[in-house]
Amino acid sequence: MNDQKEFEQTENGIETLGRYRIARRIGRGGMGEVWLCEDPRLIRQVAIKTLPAHNQQDKNFAKHFEREAEAAAALNHPHILPVHDYGKQSLPDGTIVSYIVMPYISGGSLADRITSASQQQLLLPLQDTLAFLEQAAQAIDYAHKKRLIHRDIKPANMLLREDNWLFLADFGIARIISSEENLTGRSVAAGTPLYMAPEQARGKATITSDNYSLAVVAYQLCTGRLPFENKTALATMMMHQLEPVPSPRQFNPTLPSAFEQILLQGLEKDPAARPALACEFVAQLRQAISNPTYQPTPLQTVHDLPRLDFQERTQTQQPDEQHARISRRDLLLGGGAIATITTGVGLGAWGYWQTTQGSQKSLPTPQYISARPKNSGDANAPALVLTGSLLNANNLLWSKDASLLFSLEYTYTLFRWDVASLLKQPDKPYGSTFYSGKLSYPDNQLCATISPDRTQFAVANSEWDDTKTQVALYTLDLRLQSTINMPPSGNFGAITWLTNNNLCFTRYGSDDLNSNKAHSYLYVVDPTRPQRQWTILLNTLITSGGKTSGGSPVATVLADPTPDSSRAVIGYEDYLEVGKVTISNNATWTVLSRIHVKISSSKTSQWIDWTPDGKNLVMLTTRDTTHPQGRVVYMSASMSKPPVQDLNTPSIAGLESSVDGYNCLACNPNPANTPPLVAVGTADGNIYIWKLQAGSSYIKKLGTDRIQAGVATLAWSPDGKWLAASFQDNQASILIWKIG
């Protein structure tokens, strides 16, 4: 195979790759080239990575390329650049070029941002740096959970949208290039030497090799220079192998000592001593920046998380003894340790990036960030505007005294916001955070609820695998109180805490992938005695001949708010069940009333709520010919066919006909409010408040600080005086209003 041959449009006269029309080359590196192309079928621009050309007879390369491309295409994560397509193209000289089709991201890469800041003798803003590292860490942890190692983590492979949303690119490329099937049995250390972990240079990449590379990126972002850099690739790798890491504070004295301690653990020579979870590593870096008195806690290693202690291996590779260190002689003479380096210093898979050596960068002038709204003079303006999370919250939970708010992203992170402190002091030093605590999770579909006395909260799906689905219980200061292991049948869809203190979860799915039956379950557990668990079968759906019978899938569960109650409402796609959970030796679900309504499958989880007296249900229904944007209705919870009362809803301009206008609602829990107040969030980012009376119009429209994005979820404080809302904007904003 001629692995140096480049695919050149001008030389070969090739104007298309498959169905894609070539516009121009936008990147070149040691592992291929990137072309801007037009997709005539879907009428969009795409970026196509072409790999070095190979002979048509090289069947091993073709098989390996397809296997790695399919593995990369299977990754589904908001911070991983997706693979749209892949293929191969014959060239006039008889060789084959393989290619991978991805979205075109026009905002450049993190390498471009670093270069631009370097030219001005500046570092990137610290808040941006931490956000970039967090997004990359989430993508890395997700891939490791899928047993994939990237091998080329670097700024040039971190592509950015204009709103600073980061995509990690080039999964599988380094492994294709380094495959022994591809290079006739020679061991290859593919990657970029400036960011390459010592063991990866010996051809033995592990998950902590990726984490090492991320730590190099963190070092570079926070000091303005790389920890190791020399004139040649081999010399640079020798430095990674043999030399101690220069103190980051030597180049940036403003970095806290705790930050340096955490960063240096990420750069340990021994892969087993490094953090196993990239998210945990970055979370502690942020803590060290935001809290001057922060004392790092031990980061989990692969010894603590043995399921992550895997090593990808090619078909011909044999087990070999691991060495903690490698000598200069080993590096120079090779001995099979480093036979081929596929990329040069500063040369990456997405193009050429020139680093600046030697000069120390000046730090930006200290600034402040503020949680104050832009238009604080407006009577309906929020009291606080909170940012700092990457994804919008799907759960908002208040403490009993409304001093704390907890927000949970759907897949990754739970944040603790000290609302009382922020109201007193909304301004923070630049580089700090508005949130006062944070818990990170693997890529799971998280859901949360708070106890009736609001002294603890539960996070479902905090961990799950083939042996269990875990529910974690925490105190309000984010200390893990206990964990409950539930049956290993997949994620729970919803969670609620009955006021009689039992936890309830719903789950829908098939026990057998080949079965035409799917089941809806209600799980009940006593959190004080977690061994007391019960499973209740709600219904079984049977699909035959394209038709489904037996009911509809369970969608949510919500506890009756009245004291010491065993009642709850279970929502399905086209009806509600109000019932009670009875526990003796077994648990049973007794249906008290069934209400037939139609909800939208596009609704958030917060489409139904109880009035504080437990007598009525308030909900959002899907659009129909009479109500093209949906309805806000309420009805008795004790009748099977109750009269449905509508609120007079405003028209929402500019929505597509296929989109419901109303996203979420929340009923004020204070029983002193008669009639109760109901807040509704819309798809265009507005929040309206009604008094719950048939035919009534809204009494208040809240100011949303110029945010023009859908409302994701709402939550009233227990005393009914505060309302919080999360938004689907780029900042994943959370706004808080004082009501009344």
Strand partners, 104: none
Q: Residue 226 above 90 pLDDT?
A: yes
Confidence (pTM): 0.58
Span 465-471, average pLDDT: 81
The pLDDT, as a whole number, for residue 372 is: 87
Domain boundaries, the chain: 9-314+323-352, 379-738
Whether 661 and 629 have beta carbons less than 8 Å apart is answered as yes
The CA distance from 29 to 107, in Å, is 19
Q: Which is more confidently placed, 322 or 416?
A: 416
Does 452 sit behind a cis peptide bond, omega within 30 degrees of 0 on the bond before it? no
Burial of 328 (0-12, 13-18, 19+ CB in 10 A): exposed
Q: Rounded to the nearest 5°, which phi and psi values hold at 676?
A: -65, 155
Residues 482-531: pLDDT tens digits? 999 988 766 788 999 999 999 999 988 776 555 678 889 999 999 999 99
Identify the DSSP state of 194. Answer: G
CA torsion 25-29-33-34 (nearest 10°) is -60
Which residues, at least 6 apart from 142, have a Cβ–Cβ distance to it below 8 Å? Answer: 75, 77, 79, 80, 442, 443
The pLDDT, as a whole number, for residue 213 is: 97
C-alpha to C-alpha distances, 359 to 223, 255, 356, 529, nearest whole angstrom: 11, 18, 7, 61
Q: What angle do CA 230, 236, 242 make, to 5 degrees?
A: 120
Residues 395-405: pLDDT tens digits? 999 999 999 99
What percent of the chain has pLDDT above 70? 81
Residues 228-240: pLDDT tens digits? 999 888 889 989 9
Q: Residue 596 above 60 pLDDT?
A: yes
Span 291-304, average pLDDT: 85
The pLDDT, as a whole number, for residue 625 is: 74
The pLDDT, as a whole number, for residue 456 is: 97
CA torsion 692-645-566-501 (nearest 10°) is -40
The CA distance from 221 to 113, in Å, is 10
Q: Which is more confidently placed, 458 or 622?
A: 458
Identify the DSSP state of 528. Answer: T
The pLDDT, as a whole number, for residue 366 is: 39
The CA distance from 666 to 661, in Å, is 16
Provide the annotated active-site residues: 152
The CA distance from 588 to 16, in Å, is 63
Span 45-53, average pLDDT: 86
Q: Which is more confidently placed, 669 or 296?
A: 669
The pLDDT, as a whole number, for residue 376 is: 59
Whether 237 and 269 have beta carbons less than 8 Å apart is answered as no
Q: Residue 429 above 60 pLDDT?
A: yes
Mean pLDDT (the chain) is 82
Span 619-640, average pLDDT: 84
Q: Residue 383 above 60 pLDDT?
A: yes
Residues 253-297: pLDDT tens digits? 999 999 999 999 999 999 999 999 999 999 999 989 888 788 888
Span 291-312, average pLDDT: 82
Q: Residue 7 above 70 pLDDT?
A: no
The pLDDT, as a whole number, for residue 343 is: 36
- Label residue 322 by pLDDT band (50, 70, 90): very low
The pLDDT, as a whole number, for residue 420 is: 96
In this structure, CATH architecture of domain 9-314+323-352 = Orthogonal Bundle (1.10)
Q: Residue 177 above 60 pLDDT?
A: no
The pLDDT, as a whole number, for residue 365 is: 38
Q: Which is more confidently placed, 123 or 291?
A: 123
Which region among 477-491, 556-570, 687-701, 706-720 has the lowest average model confidence (pLDDT)?
Answer: 477-491
- Label residue 545 by pLDDT band (50, 70, 90): low
The pLDDT, as a whole number, for residue 616 is: 96
The CA distance from 229 to 237, in Å, is 9
Q: Residue 45 above 60 pLDDT?
A: yes
Highest mean pLDDT among 24-38, 177-191, 359-373, 627-641: 627-641
In this structure, CATH architecture of domain 379-738 = 7 Propeller (2.130)
The pLDDT, as a whole number, for residue 722 is: 97
